[in-house]
Structure 1
Amino acid sequence: MTENPLHLPLPDPAVVDALGRDLRAADFSGSGIEELLGGAADAALTAGTWWPALRATAAAPPELASRATLVRLFLLGSAESAADVAAALPSTPIPVLVEQGVLGYDDEARTAVRALLDIRPHPATATDDDAAPDLLVVSDQDPLLAPGAVAHDHVLGIGGASMSLAQAVIRTPVRRALDLGTGCGIQALHMDAHCGQIVATDTNPRALALAAATARLNAMTWDLREGSLFEPVAGERFDLIVSNPPFVVGSGAQDYIYRDSGFTGDALSERLISEIPEHLEPGGVAVLLANWVVYDEERWAERITGWLTATGLDAWAVQRELADPISYISLWVADAGESAQDAAARAARWLDWFESEGIAGIGMGVVTLRRPLDDRAAEVIVEEITAAGQEVTGAEAQAFWARRDYLRTRTDEQLLATRLTTAPVFLETQSLPGAEGWQEVSAAVTRPGGPGAVLPVDEVMTALLAGCRGQVPLGVLLSLLADVHGVDRDALAQAAMPAVREAFARGILYEAR
């Protein structure tokens, strides 16, 4: 067995392999768990409600007993009979799994065990094979399932932030990619399908150990390196950089590695963004989650705009939420599983620091950066998009940049000679009652699912969008509208082109083919 001087989990590849065989033999997969629990209990478990799943596993038929044991053990955090666990994981003796940090004894007689790790199935990344088996992800147990505060080197599993980032990554195949701050390896897991080589880094040795287990369970190979920020990859460049770093804004204390960087305030996010340019290949893309300090809510964008402008890269930053200090602190204090008394004391100290710094709020969002292929001036777009259903996705980000590239190479005259089509959109109007009935005061078109794809429109623009069906050039439509409204065609075109360009940039208009 592989020596484990640091007492890190799963140091022995043979044990990881055996564990994977047993989990798959029991059909410990998304479909297998749904079959065991039933649709309602499975959906409730996905949403964070665990008791229906516990009830369902208790009623499992004998042929599904091993799968039920594994669900309770790894997903529900319950103590299980050592005999039942041995039957469910027959390839590796219980004492070995304890020594490898997978299980812990729950009683002095060693007749019951609990999982020390969370091992769960995760849907395979998009593939041509619809029958591709689920992936397996290894992390530490959720604090809701384990008593007491999490350890200093706790490794988070699959969460809302990590899935938001995975959703925002552009999935164009690339030669070489970097997962900076890999944690349990969830980003690298998604990148493996479209990246030739993956380097994954972390400052936490425990995270790298669990990422190694995640990779091996899924027959993947990643270059895992320990170190802070870009230190482990000094002098190297990548086609894709993805990062979910410990961006939490605080006084600089590092209570928990997964959230606290040791940098004061938002310095970690600032430094990460500032160092990305020297590690991106021409045309390369970086996607990361970040938090930034806001001193004046009316001018929230100034700070991150300054960071992004200094990179010389194309940048699109979307603030998904602006949290007040109390809400922000409450979120992260609850996340650690501390006692009410310890949490209250930590929160009070944290809020004292926020107040001493004059911080009004914390911006939270996703940043996409791209190195231009030429020497042109970079584009920096910073905006707030908070609506549900308008999250940044990789496909939308890729289309966002493609549309801006198109507009950059087209003059107004060329656009006027182009046949344009309006995407499926909703026209929404707001009216107020007046002396002569309802009077429209504003109108906008919205492209569903498009982040920020909302365009205020007037009567002329509403008519123009309705007329863009890919049949005649834009200039012809404007001439017709000019005749209807009795205005000069050139003047109308000059007034309309900024709105046309914005509509194109937001995917509301596109070139007919």
Structure 2
Amino acid sequence: MTRSPLTLLAPELTAFFDAAGFTAGGIAGHLGPDHTEAMHRGEPAAVRYATDDGSTLSRLIRVFILRDALPATELADLVGASLATRLLDSGAAAADRNGTVRMVLDVRPHIIVGADRWVFSDADASMTRHVPGPDHVLGVGAASLSLLQSTPVTPVGSVLDLGTGSGVQALGQFGLAESITATDVHPRALDLAEATFAGAGAPVELLEGPWFEPVAGRTFDRIVANPPFVVGLPEVGHVYRDSGLNLDGASELVISRAPAHLAPGGTAHLLAAWVHTPEQSWAQRVASWLPDRGVAAWVIERDVADPAHYVGTWLKDESIDPRSPEGDARTGAWLEHFAEHGVSGIGFGFVAIRNIGDEPSDVLAESMPQSFTDPLGPEVEEYFTRTAWLRGRGAQELADATFLTRPGLARETIAVADKEAGVGFAPAALRLTRTDGPRWSHDVDEHLAAIVAGLHPQGLSFGETVGLYALANGLDEEELVRAAVPALVDLVRHGLVLPAELAEAAE
């Protein structure tokens, strides 16, 4: 039994779009790079200018992207009479008394995990004047794209998409997972998600209810969640972003409860936000939401906003002008609430959690401000592999192991103008930097840089390499090993140096 007529329409509509070239790549090729960027910036006039040739693809862009109105007869001519009728009957499009039709929903093409997909969602304000209502169902936004990039795309057993919305994250796991379960508290979201899945031919179990209640007592091999994490007052203005919980309560709830729903070795991949306060570091705050035993967690802060900037950003998200009386009142109430709770900033980022059984928890919370373009998902999986290897070894075992530098690792020598000499340059920093993944960079001294340069997977152990360097430079071997092992742990944790046995297993 289907939830809505959209589900029955979706396969026929997406098949038509695919045949007509109404795909993300087809649109980009048709518009060209400049007008494609204008489309992404929300500049409809530029897109309309580029689609005046009367071609089928231009007309589809005008109807389904720009949501231009057209006579019902022209819609039937464009997509066929049967499909036009079903668009109207399902509520995807609406007609006025004059027989003029306009799309009500967005059915937008995207490339998701390398495949052409179409996501059913409510129309946003990017192309037409529109204020999203309280029950608005979001399509593919910046946050959902960033979570897709940070979630592994390796084969997996069972997947839970918590708070699926229009189904974007579950769609990203289609073809990878043996089974997918998607939940949402919002019935309308489940209606649109079902259509999204039907259009992709993706069998997904849909469950209605808040948070983890629909899957009580169940565990999964992979959990993905883009919850309503907006930090603010305990109220719900828009169901897709407001949880009704105070401040960062939504992030705390999802992060704290996810471990109980992970199968052995299972992982969770979450978007979250947290407050900064003078009393406690953000890293301590988020770490306190996790259990003392049973999880490895990597918490990555990608951005921090001051309260005023944060409030202004989210008011614009709901199409409220901060200069309007409503915007003025909302801003004042929101900032006052932050002030009452000592909020000095709001952080945003990713949380990856792995079930490690009954071992003591291993939690790392750190900032990742550097820019990079590689997907983060593979790095997350490798991070858990590297840290699992580290957890099982003491200082002596680390010294006895063999390692190699990561392929592509760069050594950077930074020098600045020598003020004292008045001429030339003076050394300022020595860094080891990854040229792949998240581009981690570590400041090192000449001793550690030389030791790392001497590592070889079929050569001496780390301790022996340090000993050889100490002997050649007149240093105390025991003392140098004691100092070098903690530095080695940091380099392995960020993947600049790899244990030889892990590298061999990956080949």
Q: State the TM-score, normalized to the length of structure 1.
A: 0.90
Q: 1:129 is matched with which residue?
A: none
Q: CA deviation at 1:428?
A: 3.0
Q: CA deviation at 1:93?
A: 5.8
Amino acid at match of 2:318: A
Distance 2:10 2:303 in 1: 39
Distance 1:439 1:455 in 2: 20
Matched, 1:402 2:369: no
Distance 2:189 2:409 in 1: 44
Amino acid at match of 1:457: V
Q: CA deviation at 1:275?
A: 1.4
The residue correspondences of 1:202-281 to structure 2 (distance < 5 A) are 202-281=184-263
Q: 1:299 is matched with which residue?
A: 281
Distance 2:473 2:38 in 1: 57
User: Cα distance 1:315–1:109, how it changes in 2: closer, same or farther (>3 A)?
Assistant: same
Distance 2:29 2:343 in 1: 49
The residue correspondences of 1:287-366 to structure 2 (distance < 5 A) are 287-296=269-278, 299-310=281-292, 312-339=294-321, 341=324, 342-366=326-350
User: Cα distance 1:38–1:297, how it changes in 2: closer, same or farther (>3 A)?
Assistant: farther
Q: CA deviation at 1:47?
A: 5.2
User: Cα distance 1:492–1:41, how it changes in 2: closer, same or farther (>3 A)?
Assistant: same
The residue correspondences of 1:145-156 to structure 2 (distance < 5 A) are 145-156=127-138
Matched, 1:30 2:15: no
Distance 2:30 2:318 in 1: 31
Contact 2:6 2:192 in 1 (8 A): no
Q: CA deviation at 1:388?
A: 1.1
- Which SS does the other structure have where 1:358 is aligned? coil
Q: 1:495 is matched with which residue?
A: 483
Q: 1:87 is matched with which residue?
A: 77
Q: 2:403 is matched with which residue?
A: 420
Q: 2:449 is matched with which residue?
A: 462
- Which SS does the other structure have where 2:35 is aligned? helix
Contact 2:278 2:342 in 1 (8 A): no
Q: 1:144 is matched with which residue?
A: 126
Distance 1:410 1:358 in 2: 41
Q: CA deviation at 1:113?
A: 2.1
Q: 2:166 is matched with which residue?
A: 184
User: Cα distance 1:331–1:291, how it changes in 2: closer, same or farther (>3 A)?
Assistant: same
Amino acid at match of 1:172: T
User: Cα distance 1:34–1:453, how it changes in 2: closer, same or farther (>3 A)?
Assistant: closer
User: Cα distance 1:139–1:13, how it changes in 2: closer, same or farther (>3 A)?
Assistant: closer
User: Cα distance 1:493–1:331, how it changes in 2: closer, same or farther (>3 A)?
Assistant: same
Distance 2:428 2:234 in 1: 49
Q: 2:492 is matched with which residue?
A: 504
Q: CA deviation at 1:83?
A: 2.8
Q: CA deviation at 1:449?
A: 3.7
Distance 1:442 1:3 in 2: 62
User: Cα distance 1:311–1:243, how it changes in 2: closer, same or farther (>3 A)?
Assistant: farther
Distance 2:148 2:86 in 1: 34
Distance 1:148 1:348 in 2: 24
Contact 1:422 1:468 in 2 (8 A): yes
User: Cα distance 1:13–1:456, how it changes in 2: closer, same or farther (>3 A)?
Assistant: closer
- Which SS does the other structure have where 2:495 is aligned? coil
Contact 1:66 1:87 in 2 (8 A): no
The residue correspondences of 1:96-115 to structure 2 (distance < 5 A) are 96-105=86-95, 108-110=97-99, 112-115=100-103
Distance 1:409 1:3 in 2: 49
Aligned alpha-carbon RMSD (Å): 2.4
User: Cα distance 1:459–1:407, how it changes in 2: closer, same or farther (>3 A)?
Assistant: same
Contact 1:297 1:360 in 2 (8 A): no
Q: 2:113 is matched with which residue?
A: 125
Deviations 1:375-421 (A, max 9, x none): 22110101111111177711001111111112223344444444422
Amino acid at match of 1:123: I
Q: 1:73 is matched with which residue?
A: 63
Q: CA deviation at 1:68?
A: 1.5
Amino acid at match of 1:28: F
Q: CA deviation at 1:46?
A: 4.0
Q: 1:483 aligns with which of 454, 459, 471?
A: 471
Contact 1:318 1:382 in 2 (8 A): yes
Q: Which runs of 5+ in 1 are unaligned?
A: 5-9, 127-132
Distance 2:85 2:9 in 1: 12
Contact 1:385 1:452 in 2 (8 A): no
- Which SS does the other structure have where 1:352 is aligned? helix
Q: Which runs of 5+ in 2 are unaligned?
A: none
Q: CA deviation at 1:311?
A: 6.7
User: Cα distance 1:332–1:246, how it changes in 2: closer, same or farther (>3 A)?
Assistant: same
Deviations 1:446-493 (A, max 9, x none): 113444722220010111222224452133432332123211222222
Matched, 1:435 2:425: no
Contact 1:325 1:362 in 2 (8 A): yes
- Which SS does the other structure have where 2:290 is aligned? helix
User: Cα distance 1:146–1:34, how it changes in 2: closer, same or farther (>3 A)?
Assistant: closer
Q: 2:15 is matched with which residue?
A: 21
Amino acid at match of 2:480: L
Amino acid at match of 2:404: T
Quick one: percent identity of the two aligned structures?
Answer: 36
User: Cα distance 1:356–1:97, how it changes in 2: closer, same or farther (>3 A)?
Assistant: same
Q: 1:448 is matched with which residue?
A: 435
Distance 2:70 2:320 in 1: 25
Q: CA deviation at 1:42?
A: 2.8
Q: 1:130 is matched with which residue?
A: none
Amino acid at match of 1:109: N
Distance 1:21 1:391 in 2: 31
Contact 1:431 1:439 in 2 (8 A): yes
Matched, 1:382 2:365: yes
Contact 2:269 2:351 in 1 (8 A): yes
Distance 1:298 1:274 in 2: 18
Contact 2:296 2:361 in 1 (8 A): yes
- Which SS does the other structure have where 1:371 is aligned? strand
